[in-house]
Structure 1
Amino acid sequence: MKETIVLHPVPGFHHMVSLVELGKLILQHHPHFSITILVPTMPLDTSTTTSSYISHISKTHLPITFFSLPSIPPHQETQDHAMILEYMRLNASYVVDALQTMRLSSSVLALITSSVYIYDGLDNLHIPTYYYFTSCASTLAILLHLPTLHNQTTKSFKDLNDTLLHVPGIPPIKASYMPQPLLDRDGPAYHYFFNYASCMSKSKGVIVNTFDILEPQAINAIASGSCISNGATPPIYSIGPLITDAKDQSGNSTSEALAWLDAQPSRSVLFLCFGSKGTFSEAQHEKIAHGLERSNQRFLWVVKSPKGSTSDQPQLEILLPEGFLERTKGRGLVVKCWAPQNAILRHDSVGGFVTHCGWNSLLEAVSYGVPIVSWPLYAEQHLNAVVLVEEMKLAIPIDTSTSMVFCKEGEEEGLVSAEEVEKKVRQLMEFEEGKVLRQRSLETRAMAMAAWTSGGSSFTAFSTLVASWKQG
């Protein structure tokens, strides 16, 4: 029987990409394994992004098989946190059914999942379960410590505002900067993550996309058991940086953006990109544009339709200040909706990155030695930004104190000024502070590469992980 590793991403494109990259890493070092990826299908999901990506990976001739799980009829008309979490719970039985089917023709060595629901019946199959954590070790430390924080107050974190929370392994963090699903203690997402520590303690281990030298304090705190007050801490395997393969990126803007970069001087271009869900108001777009123009720096800016827009394509002539595109022609390029971020960040012309601080984006910047201006927007990005600036010392922060610290969906509290944008752009690209940051970024890139050399921390952790599958 062939030896198979089964990967189960929760709904969400970035989870699918992360698990595929993990599968490719496993095959790179152990080509005799086969990989099966369980594909969840969300109700009401009309996006073709995931299906197109799966089609592309299927054509690579890697021993990766995609197994579509049955669809669950929708119970409501929106895909909010409550619905997604309920779907994940109901989906758990299908995962067990799929594993039972696979065992008829394969030796399933392990299940690796980014969901933390308990799979009833899995123990009877004697398949060890590992959790794959797609964010940083610092966020993992917070989730493991959440029951302790919960018992220290009766208020929601969103109501504690600037109160500093102390979590082993990370810098003190404002309560309002906690990961977005944790802000409301009465919400379904909060209760899901509240059980995170107990679920993980029942696993064979937690795989984290980071590396030891990048987050030593958080990794040590988790491994030592400091984050969990009651219960055992499972083994932690830090195997990063694991980033998206640039060859898997495609799009109409690929040739335009990269061709433009080819004509720019080395390390001269500032790249601005805010993730798949990062959107701004029309007013904020205008202030970013004014800040970029005043900075006199070269830039490549990915612009999406503003908040509230019903159009998929932004109308740049209306959205941006009058004459902006003409005045910045030659030293700036604005790309609509999407650009091949990985390929751009590794381009020699790119000298800085303004980012929403999604973990995958940060790892790509770290892997290519690109210094950062941090502009967190949602999810766990405010936490990522704090760690990035205060502990890793790889970024200059945008002052978002008048922007979105906590706001309801669709609301916006204040704007980041054009002056603030100009100031931080020039600090990164022109002043001594940016030069120091660039040197630090290059040093961290070397550390990231060293982590995956023979004897490096990530290489060793990965080897130990694979050895544990053989032990059951």
Structure 2
Amino acid sequence: MKDTIVLYSSIGRGHIFSVVELGKLILTHNPSFSIAILIPTPPNSTAIDTTIFGYDSSITFHHIPIPQPPSGTALSPPSLIFHLIRYGNHNLHQVLQSISKTSKIKALVLDFLNYTANEVTNTLNIPTFFYYTSGASPLCALLYYKTIIQIKTEDSCNYLEIPGFPRISKEELPSYPEELENIFLDIVATMSGCNGIIINTFNALEGRANKALQEGSCFPDESNPPPVFCIGPVISVPGGENDENGCLSWLDSQPSQSVVLLSFGSLGRFSKTQLKEIAIGLEKSEQRFLWVVRSESDEESLEDLLPEGFLDRTKEKGMVVRDWAPQVKILSHDSVGGFVTHCGWNSVLEAVCEGVPMVTWPLYAEQHLNMIVLVKEMKVALALKETENGIVGATELGDRVKELMDSEKGKEIRERVLKMKVSGVEARNEGGSSYVALNRLTQLWKGKDNLSLLSPNSPLLSNYSG
């Protein structure tokens, strides 16, 4: 029976792609393993086409059907994804038993959003590791969350000292509903008791955070933290992305490092008011740009969404496309010299790996924490300021884009991120920090001969009800 590492992705294309790349990385490092990737499929959704990933025969895909929530269940959108995964636990249990009939499961790696699947892995006695798909710095903040909640209620304390994280004011912390805060505390408790945490980062990028994690200073129980493995940067390698909008051919005609890319992830949709401010700001900046527009309304055309005449006035310097563009290929293009980003971690790593400086525009989740680290700690980005009503004004955007692309400060940021690019390559090369961490992890897995699944006939398993 072949030794198998099972990777359980969370819901969402970004999470699935990240887990697939992790699987490929494990195989390049240790081809004796086979990889089983589990993809949750929520009700009323289409199963993702796994042929797009370009994998080899050592990777197999298994869909985990997520049943409809029980009737009368009231779930708020922020917590929905966590509950859906729990509803799929019974099907997860069955799939793991099926895999165990032909393979020896050495470990199960959970996307951290799938923390409730730990209920199944504990029952099956499978070594459980967590894959944190964001950076080490926001993980420090998450693990320290119980203390953060306590400090936030103290009037005498205006600043927070989080181990491994830049010093921040209480106002800079994103706020969450109480229901979500309780989920975060559950995640922390589960991660703290796992066999290890894998993070998509590297030492040179987040050295202080990695040190705090290794020492355990941000864990609830500092004396016995799980081992941490920083194995990044793990990013999707450009391959099957189609350039339907002709972005790459347009970039071919632009001068070197002259174009700023504006792209905000699959959920980064803006109001008509905000889109018009962006357009005016880009015109004011006088910089070349490639802008991926996602609006709250899919009905209106670009001409309706943007200021009158904008597309015609900027056609020599700018390109605007709707909804999607091949971001990895664009960031790797020689003509691109800047990136206005929502600070999703995949996008951050893609920019760092191509040496592209950033302007930060965080929108949701841990992106505000990523922004703080990028600007204050790594110093590879400039921050945008919102008005009181949450809008980024045209003047603010135009000034920051111009500063990034055409100023001494922008030049310093570019030089800094280019050094990070080199460090990222070195980390993954033989002898580098991420190479060593991944080797340590795979050796740990290879040594766990006594930790495979229990017999499928075990009464403990047959009584599991999910």
What letter is aligned with 2:358?
I
What letter is aligned with 1:68?
H
Cα distance in 1 between the residues matched to 2:445 and 2:55: 26
Q: Secondary structure at the match of 1:147?
A: helix
Q: Which residue of 2 aligns with 1:95?
A: 92
Q: Residue 366 of structure 1 contacts residue 445 of structure 1 at CA under 8 Å; is this kept in 2?
A: yes
Q: Which residue of 1 aligns with 2:275?
A: 285
Superposition pairs of residues 301-380 of structure 1, within 5 angstroms: 301-305=291-295, 307=296, 309-311=297-299, 314-380=300-366
Q: Map Cα deviations across residues 261-281 of structure 1 (whole Å, 9 max, x no partner).
A: 011111111111011111211
Cα distance in 1 between the residues matched to 2:204 and 2:152: 33
Q: 1:121 to 1:8 in 2, by over 3 A?
A: closer
Q: Which residue of 2 aligns with 1:56?
A: 52
Cα distance in 2 between the residues matched to 1:206 and 1:414: 35
Q: 1:77 to 1:341 in 2, by over 3 A?
A: farther
The number of aligned residues is 442
Cα distance in 2 between the residues matched to 1:78 and 1:196: 18
Cα distance in 1 between the residues matched to 2:75 and 2:120: 30
1:105 pairs with one of 102, 106, 119: 102
Q: Residue 92 of structure 1 contacts residue 119 of structure 1 at CA under 8 Å; is this kept in 2?
A: no
Structure 1 window deviating more from structure 2 (361-370 vs 424-433): it is 424-433
Q: How far apart are 1:166 and its partner, in Å?
A: 2.3
Q: Residue 118 of structure 1 contacts residue 199 of structure 1 at CA under 8 Å; is this kept in 2?
A: no
Is it true that 1:167 corresponds to 2:153 in the alignment? no
Is it true that 1:395 corresponds to 2:391 in the alignment? no
Q: Which residue of 1 aligns with 2:454?
A: none
Is it true that 1:183 corresponds to 2:176 in the alignment? yes
Structure 1 window deviating more from structure 2 (122-131 vs 278-287): it is 122-131
Cα distance in 2 between the residues matched to 1:202 and 1:78: 27
Give unmatched runs, 5+ long, in structure 2.
449-466
Structure 1 window deviating more from structure 2 (108-117 vs 204-213): it is 108-117
Is it true that 1:250 corresponds to 2:226 in the alignment? no
Q: Which has the higher contact order (CA 8 A, sep 6+)?
A: 2
Structure 1 window deviating more from structure 2 (122-131 vs 104-113): it is 122-131
Q: Residue 69 of structure 2 contacts residue 87 of structure 2 at CA under 8 Å; is this kept in 1?
A: no
Q: CA RMSD in A?
A: 2.1
Q: Map Cα deviations across residues 50-102 of structure 1 (whole Å, 9 max, x no partner).
A: 613x2322x64442211112331244697723332222222233323322221
1:455 pairs with one of 412, 431, 438: 431
Q: Residue 452 of structure 1 contacts residue 458 of structure 1 at CA under 8 Å; is this kept in 2?
A: yes
Q: How far apart are 1:192 and its partner, in Å?
A: 1.3
Cα distance in 2 between the residues matched to 1:339 and 1:121: 38
2:397 pairs with one of 400, 421, 427: 421
Q: How far apart are 1:154 and its partner, in Å?
A: 4.7
Superposition pairs of residues 36-75 of structure 1, within 5 angstroms: 36-45=36-45, 51-52=48-49, 54-57=50-53, 60-75=55-70
Cα distance in 1 between the residues matched to 2:429 and 2:440: 15
TM-score computed with the length of structure 2 as normaliser: 0.90
What letter is aligned with 1:249?
E
Q: Residue 43 of structure 1 contacts residue 74 of structure 1 at CA under 8 Å; is this kept in 2?
A: no
TM-score computed with the length of structure 1 as normaliser: 0.89
Give unmatched runs, 5+ long, in structure 1.
404-412
What letter is aligned with 1:290?
I
Q: Map Cα deviations across residues 91-135 of structure 1 (whole Å, 9 max, x no partner).
A: 233323322221111111110111222533534644211100011
Q: Which residue of 2 aligns with 1:140?
A: 139
Q: Which residue of 2 aligns with 1:230?
A: 221
Q: Residue 118 of structure 2 contacts residue 190 of structure 2 at CA under 8 Å; is this kept in 1?
A: no
Q: 1:229 to 1:71 in 2, by over 3 A?
A: closer
What letter is aligned with 2:176?
L
Cα distance in 2 between the residues matched to 1:441 and 1:82: 35
What letter is aligned with 1:169?
G
Q: Which residue of 1 aligns with 2:443?
A: 467
What letter is aligned with 2:163?
P
Cα distance in 1 between the residues matched to 2:93 and 2:352: 37
Q: Residue 176 of structure 1 contacts residue 183 of structure 1 at CA under 8 Å; is this kept in 2?
A: no
Structure 1 window deviating more from structure 2 (241-250 vs 382-391): it is 241-250
Q: Residue 235 of structure 2 contacts residue 349 of structure 2 at CA under 8 Å; is this kept in 1?
A: yes
Q: Which residue of 1 aligns with 2:151?
A: 152
Structure 1 window deviating more from structure 2 (256-265 vs 101-110): it is 101-110
Is it true that 1:300 corresponds to 2:299 in the alignment? no
What letter is aligned with 1:83?
L
Q: Residue 82 of structure 2 contacts residue 116 of structure 2 at CA under 8 Å; is this kept in 1?
A: no
Q: How far apart are 1:454 and its partner, in Å?
A: 1.3
Q: Which residue of 1 aligns with 2:451?
A: none
Structure 1 window deviating more from structure 2 (437-446 vs 60-69): it is 60-69
Structure 1 window deviating more from structure 2 (21-30 vs 267-276): it is 21-30
Q: Percent same amino acid among aligned pairs?
A: 45
What letter is aligned with 1:212?
N
Structure 1 window deviating more from structure 2 (327-336 vs 220-229): it is 220-229
Structure 1 window deviating more from structure 2 (74-83 vs 163-172): it is 74-83
